[in-house]
Structure 1
């Protein structure tokens, strides 16, 4: 394929000079497509994977038409997270300097007075997160009458984080806005709904199909025993030896616990989650970016928008919530043309669900968790190579010392002792092969056909929610809302049966106390369609046909009886 160069797109000299001084000579595919289209007065929707160069794809055409030294706030760029917004701000500042343009950054956790001064002094470009931008609009510190272009970067993330109301309020306030550019890695139904409401006959530019693989990323699944995922992760890290890895978990508690466990195992790791202060986040990211700490354990929300160079591995602990989550997680590596490795640590039962989730377009290599014997053999090979190639240690001092030791000791025994001192304390992982083989055998064993009631209700509480596929809900969204509303961990939720117009959610007995306390919140939100039903098998025989208790009454009925 013929390679294009930035000089071929009629960019203004200042921008070409800025790109050249940064060493950018050729555009990425998304940059090529956007720069090649006539989008001067058009709304556009661009689908391109994370890490494909979308920031320059919208900054270059915007700055191409912005007057030098302009101080009116003409362009608004919204992104889902503080980190991503700050990265866009830095890129805009770098290019804007060549055109004497100022850029304002409006994000939470930063000095409000400084942001107001930036706006008053005049900024042609305003970057920010929806919450803080809407705050400035309502305060009157951000005047929207001059804004003619709004860019929604990572639109799917903004909607996934619950910013739809803020986005709609912002877009409705832009009375003179002439065009809206929407960039997104995926196109869920919510994105289509937003584009229909606010974009006028947009031009669609697609650089990736749903589920399309990034050729720069190698995908592998490591099978581990369900109850020993942390031990399995230790083995995977010892085997892979990542230079810099982001390890994804589902909840804040999991990130904290896993980072502590890794530290106890002798690894340098920091965690990143949504409840950290800005100072704590900055410290953790600084340690990770600098390489002082090679492992970052993060939640999906906390890691969104991060653009960290040199991430060699992404490791996903457990089954991702959905395909979109998987895509965004894996997109943290293999960025800007660099190769990366995406690893999933799954139990055998999770593996079958994962295959159905991602479909056939993404190719995976499936492996069992490395065994300590194999890890030790690989470590031994690395040590041998290190010893045999360490020429700089052949100094006179060491040679004389070696002669003295060899003259008084057996050479084989002496070498064995030295290797023992170097190698004996090396961690080689946990023996998990036997248990994993048993789980694989159980997962492949044909299961007895069970009725829907047996499948969902045995020893569990079952809730029917009036939300389903037709409402744009998926299993991950249901799990997050149930856990946050009832203040329970995901381990307290069993099977989730997603239907077109409703869902059946199994709550394990350990969640009963929290359900009794917070169940009314589901009713208040209009989510609870039917009351709780409880069908537990009795441990004693007799007392009813088949030795089973009759189903207890639902949440609201039990609450009345309690009175």
Structure 2
């Protein structure tokens, strides 16, 4: 969302303001305002937490270029990015922004010609943007003078650690002996990022524009239930129903990405794949096809979940359960960018739906849950659109109206109209009949979630010296035993073996914890609250564990 402030209200150089005007940028976004309003931020280390798509590239590029010498020819700024796509896009931003300042930019990424990169460095690149592996390669070859760098930006720091770049980051930082400021930009702040910041940043100032990383006011969140054995059919129906103008489908593996893109093409969709096994030229072509409208759908792995800056992405479709909440958030950030509304759709089986509910518990996400549309629903939608199109685009001239009137007076009028409608439907995908499969799986899932009779309910082995805790959330709050167990393990940092019997009630839950797990309760109170477990107390142990009292027969047996 744009602010009421203008770029020309800030002490930016004329060359930068001219570049912004050429791009049509008048109003800074909130993260840019935060960086521009306080000129002292440029004097030291900084941590900025902002949502994906919030305009953070300009947020760090503007203050860094604003203080750079005109025509600088030695490397003063290094921006490290987790992926090639993000690095190349960031480099393009610096190029147009620093053009009037005669600032050259070098892109150091894998999969591209090394000699061209060496040439760009020798010609005097003042800004270097790259991925950790290739940047470290240039440092070791002696083609990049990291000791001359004054400003370091770690862009998408959380994702760089996710991809295993910790060692490369440490080696690069060790080579930067003259760095004056290190800035860390990240959408989320997991423990690994906090540890990195403590180790390498010196008393950093912090800016956070994220109250709840999962919530994004410009994104509509929708979950579709699809049949487990007909997942592709469910995806096809959702695409036909949602009709994305420009969409990205995220998959778990490279093989699935390629196969899914090919099958979508066979079904009549304009789809292309994007994954790590493709050459850089193939990847660039896939992105360009989506930007220019030659492709309607990009099927991608998580290598593309960060850094893609494709305007006008109307839909993100997450095909299956993401590995964690952070992955879900970063995927969804490809839409709803720069104040535009988007839709984030997640396609889940009935079994996966329960796991996903547990994953987002404790966030403020508002998700609309729907069964995947059926062929009948899609046909009704297509009929309505054809009728609407006819009414909004009436035939020109009286000849067609007279002909229509003549046909309607004939005995075979119904056959003629039916033939015309049949021709109208030619080539339009009709979708798949999946309603019965979805309903059957949802019913099975509900039956599996019901509590079993006491004599059939499996009990976990009691933990020696266990402590019983009472949590003030239960079935009425949406909890089930499996998600509750997972939330406890994540929140307390324990193994499943540290959790004993779980007795889930409508409004509370009693959980046996090992002495170690119980000792973590107070220390990890905030972690539990983030998992949705913010109310708990110690439950007094029952007496007479060794003797069972006779059970009174209940009239309400099920």
When normalised by structure 2's length, the TM-score is 0.78
The alpha-carbon deviation at position 178 of structure 1 amounts to 1.1
1:378 aligns with 2:386: no
Distance 1:356 1:106 in 2: 40
Paired residues of 1:272 and 1:303 also in contact (CA < 8 A)? no
Paired residues of 2:247 and 2:315 also in contact (CA < 8 A)? yes
Paired residues of 1:211 and 1:323 also in contact (CA < 8 A)? no
The alpha-carbon deviation at position 287 of structure 1 amounts to 1.6
Distance 1:86 1:2 in 2: 28
* Comparing 43-52 and 359-368, the one that deviates more: 359-368
The alpha-carbon deviation at position 292 of structure 1 amounts to 1.1
Match of 1:390 among 389, 393, 407: 393
Q: Secondary structure at the match of 1:333?
A: coil
1:430 is matched with: 432
Once the two structures are superposed, the pairs formed by residues 340-359 of structure 1 within 5 Å of their partners are 340-359=342-361
1:450 is matched with: 458
1:30 is matched with: 31
The alpha-carbon deviation at position 395 of structure 1 amounts to 5.4
- Supply the RMSD in Å over aligned alpha carbons: 2.3
The alpha-carbon deviation at position 355 of structure 1 amounts to 1.4
Distance 2:411 2:71 in 1: 79
Distance 2:135 2:436 in 1: 55
Distance 1:263 1:195 in 2: 45
Cα distance, 1:274–1:502 mapped onto 2, change above 3 Å: farther
1:88 is matched with: 90
The alpha-carbon deviation at position 447 of structure 1 amounts to 5.1
2:241 is matched with: 239
Q: Secondary structure at the match of 1:450?
A: coil
The CA deviation string for residues 330-353 of structure 1, in whole angstroms up to 9 with x for no partner, is 000011111100001011221121
Once the two structures are superposed, the pairs formed by residues 9-24 of structure 1 within 5 Å of their partners are 9-24=10-25
1:105 is matched with: 107
1:369 is matched with: 372
Paired residues of 1:211 and 1:358 also in contact (CA < 8 A)? no
Distance 2:351 2:451 in 1: 13
Paired residues of 1:248 and 1:297 also in contact (CA < 8 A)? yes
Once the two structures are superposed, the pairs formed by residues 263-412 of structure 1 within 5 Å of their partners are 263-359=265-361, 360-391=363-394, 394=396, 410-412=412-414
The alpha-carbon deviation at position 304 of structure 1 amounts to 2.6
Distance 1:396 1:166 in 2: 74
Paired residues of 2:75 and 2:148 also in contact (CA < 8 A)? yes
2:6 is matched with: 5
Match of 2:120 among 118, 121, 144: 118
Paired residues of 1:252 and 1:273 also in contact (CA < 8 A)? yes
Distance 1:399 1:93 in 2: 59
The alpha-carbon deviation at position 40 of structure 1 amounts to 2.3
- Count, aligned residues: 460
Cα distance, 1:317–1:103 mapped onto 2, change above 3 Å: same
The alpha-carbon deviation at position 404 of structure 1 amounts to 8.8
The alpha-carbon deviation at position 425 of structure 1 amounts to 4.9
Q: Secondary structure at the match of 1:40?
A: helix
Paired residues of 1:103 and 1:123 also in contact (CA < 8 A)? yes
* Comparing 174-183 and 260-269, the one that deviates more: 260-269
Distance 1:186 1:67 in 2: 33
Paired residues of 2:214 and 2:329 also in contact (CA < 8 A)? no
Distance 2:442 2:405 in 1: 54
Cα distance, 1:405–1:53 mapped onto 2, change above 3 Å: same
The alpha-carbon deviation at position 405 of structure 1 amounts to 7.0
Once the two structures are superposed, the pairs formed by residues 519-538 of structure 1 within 5 Å of their partners are none
Paired residues of 2:73 and 2:126 also in contact (CA < 8 A)? yes
Q: Secondary structure at the match of 1:386?
A: helix
Distance 1:249 1:288 in 2: 17
1:180 aligns with 2:182: yes
Match of 1:73 among 67, 75, 95: 75
Paired residues of 2:3 and 2:28 also in contact (CA < 8 A)? no
Unaligned runs of 5+ in 2: 462-488, 498-558
